[in-house]
Structure formats: C-alpha cells, structure tokens
Amino acid sequence: MYEQTLPFYLGRTVTLVEYRDEMGFGLDQEPWRGIPTLAEFLRRWREDREALAIMTPATHAELLGRGVPMQVIGRDARHIIVRKP
C-alpha cells in the first residue's frame, strides 16, 4: 500500500515496505529507501525505540496474530496507523 499524498501532508519522506510498482525504478537506484520484506520491517520495528506505521486492516490483523507490539492511534475503513508502544 502506498498513499501518494502521505509524504506531502506529513512533510517528510516515507519508507515503503514490500511495495515497488511505480517506485520500482527509484528503489533499484536507491534500495535503502525501501524495506523489501515484511520480515525486515519486523526486525526494524523491534529494534527501533520509536516507530509509526500505516497499513491495511489485513496487515494489521496479520501482525496482531504474530504478536507484534503496536498501539492503534488512528484508523479509517482502509488504513490503520500504529505506533510502537
């Protein structure tokens, strides 16, 4: 999932997880700007002291099932925003 307006409204770049599509060429040039797998995301999530993520409800349910620590701070029908507790 990539919401194209998100970087504009946040005033910062975002890091894509398991997403290439139209960003594929740029990620080929600068692969450190993305996280290629959910497993790598989870490793970083556990290591970082503070973190935020936006995801689909399906991804949120999957991560809850894996016991990933996260606190919901916002949601709508298509997105859930979480922070690391």
Q: Is the pLDDT of residue 21 over 80?
A: no
Assess contact for 69 and 85: CB atoms under 8 A: yes
The confidence score (pLDDT) of residue 57 equals: 97
Cβ-in-10-Å burial (0-12, 13-18, 19+) of 84 comes to middle
Q: How confident is the model at residue 74 (pLDDT cuts 50, 70, 90)?
A: very high
> Backbone phi, then psi, for 80, in 5-degree steps?
-130, 130
pLDDT by residue (tens digit) across 26-65?
888 888 888 999 999 999 999 999 999 999 999 999 999 9
**Entry pTM:** 0.84
Delimit the domains of the chain by residue range.
6-83
Q: Is the pLDDT of residue 75 over 90?
A: yes
